[in-house]
């Protein structure tokens, strides 16, 4: 029984760790990729980010 509880605890911890790494901190931002310009642009606030990876933080100034 203690082994099952330990496995359950590890599974819950792994899920929250995975979830925190895959979610972004840009709740208000709506990022749209413009591939021809190699640019990400937020349709909510107008912030811009160069590169092919979607931003993980809000870039509003």
Q: pLDDT digits over 2-45, tens only?
A: 899 999 999 999 998 877 666 555 567 788 899 888 899 988 88
Output the pLDDT for position 1: 81
Output the pLDDT for position 29: 78
Output the pLDDT for position 4: 94
Whether 56 is in a domain gets the answer: no
Whether 60 is in a domain gets the answer: no
Whether 57 is in a domain gets the answer: no
- Specify the number of domains making up the chain: 1
User: Rounded CA gap, 61 and 1, in Å?
Assistant: 52
Whether 42 is in a domain gets the answer: yes
User: Rounded CA gap, 54 and 1, in Å?
Assistant: 43
Whether 25 is in a domain gets the answer: yes
DSSP SS3 for 42: strand
Whether 10 is in a domain gets the answer: yes
Output the pLDDT for position 8: 96
Whether 59 is in a domain gets the answer: no
Whether 24 is in a domain gets the answer: yes
Domain that holds residue 26: 2-50
Distance from chain centroid for Cα 18? 11
Kindly report whether the global pTM for this prediction surpasses the value 0.75: no
User: Rounded CA gap, 59 and 22, in Å?
Assistant: 18
Output the pLDDT for position 45: 83
């Amino acid at each position: 029984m203690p082994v099952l509880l330990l496995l359950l605890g590890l599974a819950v911890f792994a899920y929250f760790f995975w979830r925190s790494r895959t979610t972004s901190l840009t709740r208000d931002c709506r990022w749209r990729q413009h591939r021809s310009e190699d640019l990400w642009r937020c349709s909510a606030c107008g912030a811009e980010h160069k590169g092919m990876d979607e931003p993980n933080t809000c870039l509003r100034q």
